[in-house]
Amino acid sequence: MRILVVEDDADLNRQLVEILTDAGYVVDTALDGEEGHFLGDTEPYDVVVLDVGLPKMDGITVLESWRADGRNMPVLLLTARDRWSDKVAGMDAGADDYVAKPFHVEEVLARIRALIRRAAGHASSELVCGPIRFDTRTSKVSVSGAGVKLTSHELRLLSYLMHHQDEVISRTELTEHLYDQDFDRDSNTIEVFVGRLRKKLGADSIETVRGLGYRLRSPGDGADQ
């Protein structure tokens, strides 16, 4: 999963990047509203963490512009604890949730996990696809009850497929959501990691839809091979 952090406080920006990276997310950052607006308008993100008080272009204006342009990625707003008006303005502008500063790391992570689940239509923190279970809180994966150890790249790929199971996901979309903007988009690493996941989860766990991409299909889906 790929996240954009737009926060002008360099120390807090860095802390958020470290926290989110340790949690298994790929993170892009911006230190002002103009850069953040540009990235959010041109790159696909699963969640945006957006501060209200930004230089060059404030967070509310950034958010309103995104929504006006049809950008519907979930946005978690960072607000000052005593500025209730920012919270109201942010929610009216299209924010999906907010956290007041100073905040606890676990709360931010929990809210991000919830936003990602909600956007994909999942209510539970545990995602299930046949014998495969993925706990979004602990990032633990099991197949038929047996724990499976995955690398960080394999885990990110499986997480995206689990959140979008039964959907055909192109290699381009996977690359865009699993790597930052500096990653070589022409690489074949997605195919390599799909192969590794099949060895660990089962040969039939991920379907290749010829010419279109990959699909993690629920048992009984009934779709053609």
State which fold the 126-215 domain adopts: Arc Repressor Mutant, subunit A (1.10.10)
Compute how many other C-beta atoms are within 10 angstroms of the C-beta atom of residue 148: 18
How confident is the model over 8-19, as pLDDT tens digits? Answer: 999 999 999 999
Beta bridge partners of 100: 79
How confident is the model over 75-109, as pLDDT tens digits? Answer: 999 988 677 788 888 899 999 999 998 888 899 99
Alpha-carbon span 60 to 52, nearest angstrom: 6
pLDDT less than 70: residues of the chain: 81, 181-187, 220-225
Same CATH topology for 2-120 and 126-215?
no
Beta bridge partners of 126: 135
Nearest CA-CA partner of 45 in 99, 9, 4: 4
Q: Output the pLDDT for position 113.
A: 94
**Contact yes or no for 3/112 (Cβ under 8 A):** yes
CATH architecture of residue range(s) 2-120: 3-Layer(aba) Sandwich (3.40)
Tell me, what DSSP letter sits at residue 47?
A: E
Q: Output the pLDDT for position 120.
A: 84
Where in 92-131 does DSSP place strands (E)? 97-101, 126-129
Domain boundaries defined on the chain:
2-120, 126-215
The distance between the two most distant Cα atoms of the chain, rounded to a whole number of Å, is 55
**Contact yes or no for 90/108 (Cβ under 8 A):** no
AA identity, residue 188: N
Q: pTM of this prediction?
A: 0.82
